[in-house]
Homo-oligomer: A and B are copies of this chain.
Amino acid sequence: MGLIVQKYGGSSLANAEAIGHVAGRIVAAAETGTKVVVVVSAMGNTTDNLFDLAHRVALVPAPRELDLLLSTGEIVSSTLLAMALRSRGRDAIAFSGAQAGIRTNQSHGMARIAFVEPQRIVSELDLGKIVVVAGFQGITDEMDVTTLGRGASDLSAVALAAALKADICEVYTDVEGVYTADPRLVPKARKMDRIGFEEMLEMASYGAKMNPRSIEFGMTYNMKILVASSISNVPGTLIHQGDTMDQTVGEIRNRVRSVLTDKDVAMITLKETKDCPGVAAAIFEPLAAASISIDEIVQSVGAEGVTDLSFTVKRAEADQALEVATEVAREMSGVEVSSLSDVAKISIVGTVMQDAPGYAAQMFRVLADQGINIEMITTSDIRITCIVDDSRVEAAAKALHTVFGLDNLN
């Protein structure tokens, strides 16, 4: 008898009707005879609303209490879904993260799963019940409730799937899978049938809606993850170890897997900073103290002991970051600070880039042919990212999607 773990996101559980719809899908899965464990996020915008409420009563809400507060969102959706399943004639039981045996360390707001004690889930499954677990949360040895970070219901699902040795972890969401590019920008973007964990990890960090740690977890425990729509019956995208991937003709022919874009980017540059130890720390420590999240950092090779240092932040934090950077620059003689708030990030991703050269050059050529200036370049083993003017990102994405052969696949 098989066992699957399904995860449903908040937009799939936004109200009573949506919960009823999801219950219908779960019942259909259970009727194939497989055991089913369901992990849920909080309904709709619940988590954001609770977060806002906390910030209305306290400037800096206590992390322990914030976790206990936010954990209620997933408990609400798990209990409602269990009720909906029972009203459809399937026995079901709802568990908080604590009851599901998800044990974590004490890092409130970003707790790490220490281990999973799935005994009670196993007993209830053996009694024929569908088990519905509140995602996003766990409990410490001291019985303090923790949360695992934003979007971490995915992580709860993959961790439970691994602990229960499930056949697959199915993540249902409001999109039909993972795409080769943002379909709003690139009309020829297509859904991928399969993708490797590593590639998905880069994509997760660049806009696709899976928690990166859940992908790492899937990779570590070799747990297949299917990302699919909670509404349609389109097959979705299977995220897996990728061993069979290179064997398919399509995969070999097409080494760049996707084009990613992000318009929520602002770039700040400190020109002619001293190229000596301690300078980067002097710049980024005050930014960290101001709780500003830095995305990409590039330090150029400079002449005569000086260098240019650029970094990107989210646009909402651009003004504050500029202010902090200007303050820092004031204490360094000769440093000039500038910012660009209308830039965007465009990336190409594919594991095969790590073995084959020339992808970067090809990308830069495509952008040059379009007359698009590159403000900044960063790379990882399987990704190349350029910062460009945001009015040109759509044209860039379309051109790259075509040139790297993504328009006409499958």
Residues of A bordering B, CB below 8 Å? 16, 19-20, 23, 50, 53-54, 56-62, 64-66, 68-69, 71-72, 75-76, 78-84, 86-87, 92-94, 96, 98-99, 143-145
Task: Report how far A72 CA is from B70 CA in the complex, Å.
Answer: 10
Are the CB atoms of A94 and B79 closer together than 8 Å?
A: no
Task: Report how far A96 CA is from B97 CA in the complex, Å.
Answer: 14
Contact residues in B for A76 (Cβ distance below 8 Å): 50, 53, 69, 72
Copies per assembly:
2
Chain A to chain B: the 4 pairs with minimum beta-carbon distance, closest first: A16-B56, A72-B72, A58-B87, A69-B79
Main secondary structure of the interface of A (DSSP, over half): helix
**Of the residues B16, B57, B59, B83, contact of A80 by C-beta under 8 Å:** B57
Taking the closest CB of chain B, its distance from the CB of A103, in whole angstroms, is 13
Task: Report how far A66 CA is from B81 CA in the complex, Å.
Answer: 11
Task: Report how far A50 CA is from B93 CA in the complex, Å.
Answer: 18
Are the CB atoms of A79 and B65 closer together than 8 Å?
A: yes
- The verdict on A66 contacting B79 (CB below 8 Å), with A53-B16, A57-B16, A99-B143 known, is yes
Are the CB atoms of A84 and B57 closer together than 8 Å?
A: yes
Contact residues in B for A57 (Cβ distance below 8 Å): 16, 19-20, 23, 80-81, 83-84, 87
Contact residues in B for A86 (Cβ distance below 8 Å): 58, 62, 65
Task: Report how far A69 CA is from B93 CA in the complex, Å.
Answer: 12
Q: List 26 A-B contacts (CB under 8 A).
A: A16-B53, A16-B57, A20-B57, A23-B57, A50-B76, A53-B76, A54-B83, A57-B80, A57-B84, A58-B83, A58-B84, A58-B87, A60-B87, A62-B83, A64-B94, A65-B79, A65-B83, A65-B86, A65-B93, A68-B78, A68-B79, A68-B94, A69-B80, A69-B83, A96-B145, A99-B144
Contact residues in B for A98 (Cβ distance below 8 Å): 143
Are the CB atoms of B83 and A66 closer together than 8 Å?
A: yes
Task: Report how far A290 CA is from B402 CA in the complex, Å.
Answer: 68
